[in-house]
Structure formats: structure tokens, C-alpha cells
């Protein structure tokens, strides 16, 4: 299923979402499948969660049920059981193949309030001119240095508005890699290369994630194969 | 006119603070109302971090009861962490509620629930951030009434400078009564301003307004008298007692947070009050008499609570849960209902003598037999007589033997250090007890992997208990005794490694003692500590004994009293105690007799099972014990 993290609930961390989701599954009274063993827990797999504070229109999670259910009914019941702001957008019956493998890239939009578009354009141009841009990030294993340039498939700037304030909006397509390159890292790269500074924390939104078409740099629908499989099964 | 939400200012700053989810609200079952739709507006605060405050039952109950009235609006606010405090000060963002992010200063009432005195400095942070003057005397008609409740409110004198009013006891009915008074006063156009409102509240006899009382002192520093300074104000303010808990089945719709909190469960209070008579226990003394919730109401609440929350754990709360008159039927009934599901039941407070294996088996049907906790409190039989914790060594050994033989591997035992009349030997007796527990466990189970954890807290004498006159043990002696005990446990080759030992040093307890039994002069100490950066004093990483000790030295320099005077000094019968004008229902002479009985190692029975021993509460408060059995049973839930 695809879900969104919107508004103030973008501050929900991955762990917070996990707890809220499991409680919602119980409230929705879905016929959950449980793992066997000493302390059974519901079969849920989360894929590639967005960072705390980032909004998203394209988060993915898979759940296991013990009986066949109508996907739309599952969507409605689960969405009802979750607080507004954590919204279940679509549910399909999982076909063969792992969902996680289809999440090859993400499309992001990042608003930089108080930054004008023309300054950003120059910064983006010099960023793209580099073959590699080293940045540092604190990870669980300590401070790591890695390249944030190679994963960037597409990066462009446009002017936007944030209330009365003008702002620059970055549109980017980023390939999923290890270590993961997040919009934050690309902003760090822009700061490193071209001194682009945001006076207030930027507003990041993931618009899509899925298979990457290298020709067009577009991000496809990762649930497409599941839908196709379901349609084929229906035809048979 | 509607007030502005501060969320727009706050939102861009949230990525810069730790755990931003705690400031955004949006919990399941939370309520946001139109500002103008309500005529009385409450901001309810639990003065600790969100993760501690959100699960608090008291706040959740009052939040729900107030919001059920269409003319009342209630929102919640919690103590912000210091990184957030800094961000708020830099950006001129006032203390806000998490529900609709409205400034706390715009509400009619700021109600604070104090479960511990160590939250006092957090109250000052909230007042200051809200733009409310710290001192009640400097507030005007535009400021909220700052109202304290919770167990600490039974002696609100140390915070008398900062609060406008305090209420004692159960909050369910009095918050509605206060709301009525405010609605009426506002409806009349706020005649006489703030003083008139406070006067109307004080006149009812159920709301304590400190500024309407003068405190006079003797030259030696003791209190000479506390008396009303205007007519119409009662000499004593009484506590509130909710009768018939079945009529008040709250929380009906528990708040379900997104953030991780200290308790993640649906809790039902199965009864309120306790008459076991443990002399150290303030909760047991001030919440009398015992009032049970019936088995069927509890069953209904659990059923609905799980459905609306999605929680997997249910806590059956009370001061001594196994004492419910129908606990066996309740355990079996709930065990049957949730058999095979993932719902687990827990019974957080269980007495050794009320525990039985049938009960424990019911409660662990769907869960693991992780551990059992008992609280003998005193290490020696003699000391347990002093504190009236009537648990014999045989009881304890019999109980743990049963537990270990039925598959439990770990038992946790709670004790206190620094109890009145305690000697080194009393504390060292804890080591003997722990060894006997391990030996018994190994014998009955035939296994070696038996563990016992000994957890020790420092005793703090509390107002409205027989120990309110007692001397508190100084922290150096407390630490010394704990050291002796630790060495005694460690040096034993046979048992030492099977016994875990957890304790805290004695210093925070001394400050808790100062704030528990302090009077109005302690207010200056609290304020100085806060001005010097004191925040979250209940958190060991933030607590600074030195800051409190030096603030005592400064703020009390011109007084004939000091930190020791408030803590280690024993009080006499005739001394006026700072809370004597606040009526918990307990007869003062009965408390004194019980104190003398303690010293003489005389025990007192529980009035639920023996004749009344005249503690004074029921006649004074017009209440009565309300216990079952009702004889009713829990029926299986119908399958939908």
C-alpha cells in the first residue's frame, strides 16, 4: 500500500509510524497474519521510510493477511483508523516479486524559504558540473563521508512562493543507494560547492518513489506490476 | 475573538529540536474545539516532558470530562525540553497547547497536575514562557487562574507564591464546579475582577486560595498560625471525594500518541483509595476511603478502551490491585475474554499477601512470565511493624516459592531506606531476605537461573501521613547504609551474582523532602533554583543537589530556618504544620496516635475487614467505603 505523511504529522518518525500503524491495524480489525514464535508480531514490512520532518506522498508498506480482503475496503478501514495526516492512498494485492526492489529512486521537491531562485540556479549548475561532491552526515555508526552527486539523476530550480515570502523550489530525482542520499545531503552539497544557505529549515516532500526509467529520468509506479498480476488473474 | 495558533511560527523551527513529534499534537481521540464556541477554557498541564505527561490518567480524565461539555474547551500542554525552550525564547513563541497550539496565556484556567514536587521548576518555565507573571500577586484580569491539583497539592504552601488556587482530592466534580463559577462570573461581565473570582471560588470551601490566608511565624521559625485574612473564607479547605466510580467511567477514549511514551497501554482504575494503612504512604492516606469500580464496569471499559485505542496492553490500576473484592472473577473473566488474542493484562501494584498463583496465571495467559514485583518496603520484621506493612517473612517466602515453582524466574523486591527508627541492621536484613528468596527459588524450581532484583528508594516523609512529624534521614547516612547493603550482597559468593541491586543516592530525596513538607518560605528557594537554570528536577541527569542547597543557603539566609530544619528535624505534637488548614479528612489526633504506634511497633488492621479504627475520613467527609462483591460475572464478548 501507498500512504502519505502530511502536515504536522510529517514529524512522525519511522518508529512512531510503526507503532501508530500497528495500533490502527488492531482498531481496523483486519485479519492480520502473525509471525510464529515466542512473541508473535503482525507481518508488516516497511520499505525505505522518509526522514523525520519530511512530508511524503509516496511511502510504501506491505502487510500480510490470513484471508483475501477487498483492497478498497482495507484502504478505507485502515485510513479511518489512522489520524488525519497519516493517509492510506492506495492498496493493491501484492503480486510476485519484492516491492522493495522496485523502489529504485525518489522524486523530491524541496522549498527553500527566503532563498531566491536565481542564486540557487548558479549553485545547482556548479553542483551538476561536478562528478562527485563529498558531504558528511552523522549516522548510527558515527560521522560518515560520502558522495552525494552520483545519486542525483535530475536537479532543477524554479521560483515559488511561501506565503508572502518568495522562495526557491528544488525539484530532484535521486537514485536510492547505499549510503542513502537524502535531500538534506544534497543541500549540504550545495552549501559545500556553492555556499547556498537556507535561513530556515527547508520543507521537503517526497512526491514519488518507484522504478527509475534512465531514458526519461522518470519515476514509475511501483505497484504497477501488482496491479497487472491482479488483472491477469482476473482474466483467467 | 479567536486566538491565533502559533503553529505557523513553530513549524519551520520544529526540524531543529529533538523529538518534534511531541509538540505537534494530533493524537487519536484528542479534541480541538472552536475557540469562540466555549465560554470557559482550560489549559491542562502535566509539568513534565510529553513522553511522561501524556499517559497521565488524571489529565486524560479531566480533559475528557471538560470537553464533553459543549460550553467548555480543554487543551493540554507539557513541559518543553531545554532546546525547545531556547528556540521559543529566541522566536518569541509563547507556551502553547499541543491540541490547537493556542497560547496558554489566553485560557481562563491553567490547571497543573502535580504528581511530584520535583515538577515545580517546570511550572515556572511554563508560566514564564506563557507570559504569565511568576508571582500570583502580579497577575491581572487578563491572566489565567493558575490552579494546582494532584497529590502534591495537599501541601501547596511551597508554591503558594506562584499559584492562584489549589484543589485537593478527586478532580472530576470540582473542575466542573469551578467551570460553573467562572462561566457565571464572566457572564456577569467579570465583576470585581480577579479577586472577586478567586473569592467566589474560595467561598465554596473546596478551592484553596493561598493569598486569602496569612501565615504568622514564631521567633524560632515554626509557624504560629495560619488564618484567613478576610471574611467569608473558610478556616479549613476540604478535599474532594468522588463517590460511585461506576458513574464516572473515564477515560472512555484514551489518548493514543504518535510519539513514544512511558506507558503504552490502556489503563483502568479498578478502585480508588487504600486502607491498608502503610504509614509512609501518602497516597493511601489522602485517597480514603476505598471505592471500587464494579467488575462489569471494568469489563466494559476494557472492551471499549481496547477498541478505541488499539493498545495491546491493559493495566488494571489502583494502589493495591489484588485487593479488589472481585479480583479473581475479574482476572478469570478478562483472561477468558482475551484468551488467544494479543491483549495482555497487567496488575501493576500487588501486595505479597494478596497475591496468588491462580491470579498470576490468569494475567500471564497471553504474555510472558517475565517477572513479578513485590514491595515488602522494610527489610526486617520489626521495621515492617513500624511502617504497618503487614507482610511476614513467611508470607513473602511462600509467595515467591509459589511463583518460582510455576515458572517465573525473576522476582523484583522494592524497599525503602531511611524509615523512622531504622538502623543499619534493618537495612542489612534486606540482604538476608534476598538470599532466602534465591535459596527458595533454587530449591523449588531445581534450577540455578533464579534472579532477584532489590530496588531501593530513599524514604521521604509526606504531609497527611503519620510520618509527617518524623525526621528524614540525611543523605550521607542513607548513602552509607546503601553502601553497607551493597557490600553485604556482593561479598556473598553463593548468592551475590543472583541478586541485582538498584538504588539512587540520597540527595534528590532530601530536596523532595524540602518541597513536600516546606512552607511558603521555600517558594524563594524554588524561584532561585529556577532562575539559575533548574529544569526537569525529576530527571537525574538534570537534578543538581548543589544548586538546591546553595539556593536554600541564599534564599533562607534571613530566616531562622534552613534545609536541615525542613528535612531532618523531627516535629512535635503542638507544632502548627504548614498544611494543617488543609483537610484531608484524617483526624490529626489519630495520625499522632498512629505515629506513636509506629514507634512502639504496634500494627493497625484494614478497616475493610475489621471494625473502623477512627481515622476520621468518612465522618469528616461524609463518605463511606464502597466495596463489592457485586456477585456479577463477566460474560464472553459476543462475536460480531
Disruptive mutation site among B310, B314, B343 for chain A (greatest number of A CBs within 10 Å): B310
Residue A216 burial by CB count (10 A; 0-12/13-18/19+): exposed, middle or buried?
A: exposed
> Does pLDDT of B367 surpass 70?
no
Is some CB atom of chain B closer than 8 A to the CB atom of A201? Answer: yes
DSSP secondary structure letters along B127-164 = HHHHT--SSGGG--TTSPEEEEESGGGGS-GGGTTT-S
> Are residues A9 and A85 part of one domain?
yes
Domain identity same for A135 and A190:
yes
Q: Are residues B44 and B153 in the same domain?
A: yes
Cβ of residue A36 closer than 8 Å to a chain B Cβ: no
In 3D, which of A158, A149, A109, A159 has the Cα closest to residue A129? A149
CATH of residue B156's domain is 3.40.50.280
Contacts with A17 from chain B: Cβ below 8 Å: 258
pLDDT mean over B186-192: 97
Domain annotation covers residue B336: yes
CB pairs under 8 A between A and B: 67
From B16, B311, B368, residue closest to A201, measured CB to CB: B16
Nearest CA in chain A to B24: A8
- Our CA-based measurement puts residue B592 at a distance from the nearest CA of chain A, in whole angstroms, of 51
- How is residue A92 annotated by DSSP? -
Are A122 and A189 contained in the same domain?
yes
| B53-87 pLDDT per residue, tens | 999 999 999 999 999 999 999 999 999 999 999 99
A16:B311 CB<8 A: no
Q: A78 and A120 share a domain?
A: no
Say yes or no for a CB contact (<8 Å) between B310 and A9. no
pLDDT at res. B638: 65
Does residue B515 sit within a domain? no
B466-498 burial, b at 16+ Cβ within 10 Å, e below that, comes to bbbbbebbebeebbbbbeebeebbeebeebbeb
Label residue B14 by pLDDT band (50, 70, 90).
very high
Under an 8 A CB cutoff, do A25 and B12 touch? no
Q: Is B21 on the interface with A (CB under 8 A)?
A: yes
pLDDT at B370 over 70: no
Tens digits of residue pLDDT in A69-105: 999 999 999 999 999 999 999 999 999 888 999 999 9
Q: What is the pLDDT of residue A201?
A: 85
Task: Kindly state whether B36 is in contact with chain A, defined as any CB-CB distance less than 8 angstroms.
Answer: no
Burial pattern B253-284, b for ≥16 Cβ within 10 A else e, equals bbbbbbbebebebbbbbbbbbbbbbbbbbbeb
Asked if residue A87 and residue A22 are part of one domain, the reply reads yes
Residue A116 forms part of a structural domain: yes
- A96 domain-assigned: no
Which residue of A5, A8, A19 is the best one to mutate when testing the B interface, meaning the one whose CB has the most B CBs within 10 A? A8
Q: What is the CATH number of the domain that holds A175?
A: 3.30.70
Domain co-membership, A114 together with A202: yes
Q: Span B425-444, mean pLDDT? A: 94
User: In this complex, is the C-beta atom of B407 within 8 Å of any C-beta atom belonging to chain A?
Assistant: no
In this prediction, residue B39 carries a pLDDT of 97
Among partner residues B7, B20, B26, which is closest to A53 by beta-carbon distance? B20
Has residue A165 been placed in a domain?
yes
Q: What one-character-per-residue DSSP string does A19-53 give?
A: HHHHHHHHHHT--B-B--SSS--B-EEEESPPPTT
Would the pLDDT of A35 be above 90? no
Name the pLDDT band for B562 (thresholds 50, 70, 90): very high
B325-338 confidence digits (pLDDT tens) = 999 999 999 989 99
Report if residue A226 sits inside a domain. no
**Residue percentage of chain B with pLDDT more than 70:** 99
Residues B251 and B189 in one domain: no
Are B134 and B191 members of one domain? yes
For residue A201, the chain B residues in CB contact (below 8 A) are 12-13, 15-16
Task: Indicate whether B358 and B322 sit together in one domain.
Answer: yes
Q: Are residues A151 and A44 in the same domain?
A: no
What percentage of chain B's residues is helix, strand, coil (to nearest 5)? 40, 15, 45
Q: What is the mean pLDDT of residues B26-49?
A: 96
Pair (B57, B129) in one structural domain: yes
Residue A227 lies inside a defined structural domain of this protein? no
ipTM for this prediction: 0.88
| pLDDT of the residue at A212 | 96
Does residue B634 lie within any of the structural domains?
yes
Taking an 8 Å cut-off on Cβ atoms, the answer to whether A20 and B258 are in contact is yes
Same domain, B56 and B179: yes
Arithmetic mean of pLDDT, B575-593: 97
Quick one: closest CA in A to B256, which residue? Answer: A20
Does B598 reside within a domain? no
Predicted pLDDT at A91: 97
Shared-domain flag, residues A191 and A214: yes
**Cβ-Cβ contacts under 8 Å, A25 against chain B:** 310
Domain count within chain B: 2
**Taking Cα atoms as reference points, which of B367, B368, B357, B450 lies closest to residue B412?**
B450
pLDDT higher than 60, residue B613: yes
Whether residue B356 has pLDDT greater than 80: no
Residues A214, A155 share a domain: yes
pLDDT, one tens digit per residue, over B481-516 is 999 999 999 998 888 889 999 998 999 999 999 999
Q: Which of A46, A69, A91 is the last residue of a domain?
A: A91
- Give the residue among A130, A166, A26 at the shortest CA–CA distance from B307: A26
Give yes or no: residues B199 and B168 share one domain.
yes
CA distance B391 to B421: 18
Question: B191 and B248: one domain?
Answer: no
- B26 to A9: CB separation less than 8 angstroms, yes or no: yes
Residues B56 and B186 in one domain: yes
Same domain, B264 and B301: yes
Mutation target to probe the A interface, by most A beta carbons within 10 A, among B14, B26, B32, B100 is B26
Q: What pLDDT is stored for residue B365 in this prediction? A: 77
Over range B280-299, report the average pLDDT: 97
Q: Please check whether residues B126 and B253 belong to one and the same domain.
A: no
- Look-up of cell digits 532563498: A115
Beta-bridge partners for B414: B455
Give the domain CATH number at B619: 3.30.750.210
Query: Do A126 and A204 belong together in one domain?
Result: yes
Q: Indicate yes or no: CB of B310 within 8 angstroms of CB of A26.
A: yes
The reply to whether A84 and A108 lie within a common domain is no
pLDDT for A189 beyond 70: yes
Q: In this structure, are residues B148 and B114 in contact, taking their beta carbons and an 8 Å threshold? A: yes
Q: How far apart (Å, rounded) are the C-alpha atoms in residues B565 and B560?
A: 9
Domain count, chain A: 2
Per-residue pLDDT band for B142 (boundaries 50, 70, 90) equals very high
A8·B28 Cβ contact <8 A: no
pLDDT beyond 70 at B27? yes
Nearest CA to CA, how far is A195 from chain B (Å)? 20
Q: Nearest C-alpha of chain B: how many angstroms from A160? A: 17
Decide if B354 is inside a domain. yes
**Are residues B213 and B250 located together in one domain of the fold?**
no
Q: What is d(CA B11, CA B342) in angstroms, rounded to the nearest whole number? A: 37
Cβ of A23 within 8 Å of Cβ of B309? The answer is: yes
Looking at the predicted structure, is the pLDDT value of residue B369 above 70? no
Looking only at the bridges linking them, the beta strands covering A44-47 and A55-63 are antiparallel
Which residue in B8, B10, B257, B258 has the most chain A C-beta atoms within 10 A of its own C-beta, making it the best mutation to test that interface?
B258
Q: Assess whether pLDDT exceeds 90 at residue B23.
A: yes
pLDDT tens digits, B84-105: 999 999 999 999 999 999 999 9
Helix axes A183-194, A117-129, angle to 10 degrees: 90
* Rounded Cα distance, B189 and B503, in Å: 56
Contacts of residue B309 in chain A, CB cutoff 8 Å? 23, 27
Task: Give the angle subtended at the CA of B287 by the CAs of B284 and B292, to the nearest 5°.
Answer: 95
> Which segment of A111-115, B215-219, B591-595 scores lowest on mean pLDDT?
A111-115
What is the pLDDT, as a whole number, of residue B202?
97
Looking at the complex, does the CB of residue B307 fall below 8 Å from at least one CB of chain A?
yes
Q: Which residue has the higher pLDDT, B356 or B108?
A: B108
> Is B352 inside any structural domain?
yes
Residue B517 lies in a domain: no
User: What pLDDT is attached to residue B640?
Assistant: 43
Kindly state the average pLDDT of the residues B278-284. 97
Structural domain span for residue A199: 103-219
Q: Is A111 on the interface with B (CB under 8 A)?
A: no
Residue B264 lies in a domain: yes
Mean pLDDT confidence for B260-274: 94
Q: To the nearest whole angstrom, how far is the Cα of A111 from the nearest Cα of chain B?
A: 11
Contacts of B16 in chain A (CB under 8 A): 201
User: Which residue does chain A place closest to B265, by CA atoms?
Assistant: A23
Q: Is residue A229 part of a domain?
A: no
Specify the range with the lowest mean pLDDT, choosing from B261-270, B297-306, B405-414: B405-414
Residue from the list A15, A24, A27 with its beta carbon closest to the beta carbon of B307: A27
* Domain range for B342: 241-368+605-640
User: Does A77 lie in the same domain as A108?
Assistant: no
Residues B162-181 have a mean pLDDT of: 98
Q: Which residues contact B207 (CB under 8 A, 6 or more apart)?
A: B147, B165, B166, B167, B174, B178, B201, B237
Kindly report the average pLDDT of chain B as a whole number: 94
B564 interface with A at CB cutoff 8 Å: no
Report if residue A80 sits inside a domain: yes
Of A29, A60, A91, the residue at which a domain comes to its end is A91
Amino acid at each position: 500500500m501507498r500512504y502519505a505523511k502530511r502536515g504536522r504529522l510529517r514529524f512522525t518518525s519511522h518508529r512512531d509510524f510503526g507503532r501508530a500503524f500497528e495500533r490502527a491495524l488492531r482498531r481496523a480489525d483486519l485479519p492480520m497474519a502473525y509471525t510464529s514464535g515466542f512473541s508473535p508480531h503482525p507481518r508488516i514490512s516497511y520499505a525505505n521510510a522518509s526522514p523525520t520532518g519530511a512530508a511524503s506522498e509516496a511511502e510504501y508498506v506491505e502487510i500480510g493477511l490470513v484471508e483475501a480482503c477487498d483492497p478498497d475496503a482495507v484502504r478505507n478501514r485502515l485510513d479511518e483508523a489512522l489520524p488525519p495526516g497519516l493517509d492510506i492512498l492506495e492498496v493493491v494485492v501484492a503480486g510476485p516479486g519484492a516491492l522493495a526492489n522496485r523502489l529504485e529512486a525518489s522524486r523530491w521537491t524541496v522549498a527553500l524559504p527566503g532563498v531566491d531562485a536565481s542564486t540557487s540556479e548558479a549553485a545547482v549548475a556548479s553542483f551538476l558540473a561536478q562528478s562527485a561532491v563529498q558531504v558528511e552526515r552523522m549516522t548510527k555508526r558515527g560521522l560518515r563521508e560520502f558522495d552525494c552527486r552520483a545519486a542525483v539523476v535530475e536537479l532543477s530550480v524554479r521560483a515559488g512562493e511561501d506565503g508572502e515570502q518568495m522562495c526557491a523550489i528544488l525539484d530532484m530525482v535521486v537514485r536510492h543507494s547505499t549510503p542513502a542520499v537524502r535531500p538534506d545531503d544534497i543541500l549540504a552539497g550545495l552549501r559545500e560547492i556553492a555556499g547556498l544557505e537556507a535561513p530556515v529549515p527547508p520543507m521537503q516532500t517526497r512526491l514519488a518513489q518507484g522504478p527509475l526509467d534512465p531514458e526519461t529520468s522518470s519515476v514509475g509506479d511501483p505497484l504497477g506490476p501488482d496491479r497487472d498480476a491482479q488483472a491477469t488473474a482476473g482474466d483467467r | 475573538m479567536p486566538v491565533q495558533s502559533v503553529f505557523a511560527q513553530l513549524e519551520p523551527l520544529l526540524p531543529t529540536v529533538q523529538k518534534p513529534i511531541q509538540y505537534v499534537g494530533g493524537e487519536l481521540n484528542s479534541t480541538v474545539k472552536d475557540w469562540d464556541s466555549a465560554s470557559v477554557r482550560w489549559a491542562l498541564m502535566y509539568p513534565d516532558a510529553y513522553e511522561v505527561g501524556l499517559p497521565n490518567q488524571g489529565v486524560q480524565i479531566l480533559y475528557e470530562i471538560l470537553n464533553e461539555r459543549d460550553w467548555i474547551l480543554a487543551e493540554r500542554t507539557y513541559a518543553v525540553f531545554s532546546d525547545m525552550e531556547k528556540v521559543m525564547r529566541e522566536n518569541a513563541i509563547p507556551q502553547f497547547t499541543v491540541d490547537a497550539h493556542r497560547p496558554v496565556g489566553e485560557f481562563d484556567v491553567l490547571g497543573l497536575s502535580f504528581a511530584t514536587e520535583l515538577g515545580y521548576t517546570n511550572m515556572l518555565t511554563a508560566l514564564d514562557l506563557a507570559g504569565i507573571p511568576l508571582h500570583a500577586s502580579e497577575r491581572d484580569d487578563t491572566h489565567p487562574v493558575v490552579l494546582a491539583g494532584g497529590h502534591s497539592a495537599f501541601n501547596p504552601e511551597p508554591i503558594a507564591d506562584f499559584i492562584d488556587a489549589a484543589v485537593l482530592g478527586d478532580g472530576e466534580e470540582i473542575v466542573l464546579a469551578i467551570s460553573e463559577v467562572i462561566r457565571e462570573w464572566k457572564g456577569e461581565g467579570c465583576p470585581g475582577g480577579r479577586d472577586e473570582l478567586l473569592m467566589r471560588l474560595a467561598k465554596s470551601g473546596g478551592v484553596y486560595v493561598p493569598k486569602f490566608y496569612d501565615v504568622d511565624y514564631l521567633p524560632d521559625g515554626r509557624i504560629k498560625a495560619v488564618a484567613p485574612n478576610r471574611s467569608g473564607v473558610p478556616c479549613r479547605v476540604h478535599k474532594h471525594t468522588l463517590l460511585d466510580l461506576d458513574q464516572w467511567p473515564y477515560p472512555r477514549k484514551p489518548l493514543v500518541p504518535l510519539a513514544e511514551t512511558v506507558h503504552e497501554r490502556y489503563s483502568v482504575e479498578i478502585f480508588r483509595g487504600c486502607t491498608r494503612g502503610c504509614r509512609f504512604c501518602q497516597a493511601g492516606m489522602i485517597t480514603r476511603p476505598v471505592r471500587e469500580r464494579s467488575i462489569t464496569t471494568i469489563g466494559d471499559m476494557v472492551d471499549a478502551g481496547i477498541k478505541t485505542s488499539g493498545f495491546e496492553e491493559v493495566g488494571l490500576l489502583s494502589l493495591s490491585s489484588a485487593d479488589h473484592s472481585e479480583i479473581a472473577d475479574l482476572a478469570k473473566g478478562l483472561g477468558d475474554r482475551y484468551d488467544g488474542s494479543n491483549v495482555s493484562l497487567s496488575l501493576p501494584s500487588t501486595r505479597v499477601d494478596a497475591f496468588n498463583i491462580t491470579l498470576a496465571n490468569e494475567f500471564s495467559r497471553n504474555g510472558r512470565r517475565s517477572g513479578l514485583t513485590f514491595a515488602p518496603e522494610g527489610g526486617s520484621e520489626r521495621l515492617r511493624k513500624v511502617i504497618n506493612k503487614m507482610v511476614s517473612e513467611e508470607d513473602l517466602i511462600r509467595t515467591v516459592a509459589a511463583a518460582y515453582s510455576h515458572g517465573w524466574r525473576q522476582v523484583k523486591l522494592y524497599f525503602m531506606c531511611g524509615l523512622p527508627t531504622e538502623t543499619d541492621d534493618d537495612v542489612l536484613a534486606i540482604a538476608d531476605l534476598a538470599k532466602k528468596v534465591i535459596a527458595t527459588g533454587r530449591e523449588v524450581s531445581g534450577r540455578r537461573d533464579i534472579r532477584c532484583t532489590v530496588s531501593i528508594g530513599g524514604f521521604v516523609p509526606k504531609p497527611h501521613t503519620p510520618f509527617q512529624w518524623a525526621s528524614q534521614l540525611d543523605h550521607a547516612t542513607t548513602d552509607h547504609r546503601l553502601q553497607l547493603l551493597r557490600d553485604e550482597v556482593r561479598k556473598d559468593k553463593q548468592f551475590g551474582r543472583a541478586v541485582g541491586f538498584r538504588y539512587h543516592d540520597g540527595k534528590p530525596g532530601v530536596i523532595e523532602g524540602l518541597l513536600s513538607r516546606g512552607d511558603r518560605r521555600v517558594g524563594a528557594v524554588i524561584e532561585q533554583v529556577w532562575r539559575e537554570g533548574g529544569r526537569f528536577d525529576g530527571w537525574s541527569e538534570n537534578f543538581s543537589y548543589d544548586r538546591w542547597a546553595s539556593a536554600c543557603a541564599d534564599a533562607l539566609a534571613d530566616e531562622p530556618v534552613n534545609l536541615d530544619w525542613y528535612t531532618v528535624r523531627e516535629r512535635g505534637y503542638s507544632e502548627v504544620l504548614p498544611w494543617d488548614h488543609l483537610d484531608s479528612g484524617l483526624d490529626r489526633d489519630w495520625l499522632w496516635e498512629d505515629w506513636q504506634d509506629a514507634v512502639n511497633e504496634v500494627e493497625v488492621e484494614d478497616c475493610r475487614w475489621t471494625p473502623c479504627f477512627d481515622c476520621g475520613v468518612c465522618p469528616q467527609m461524609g463518605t463511606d467505603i464502597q466495596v463489592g462483591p457485586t456477585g456479577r460475572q463477566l460474560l464472553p464478548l459476543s462475536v460480531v
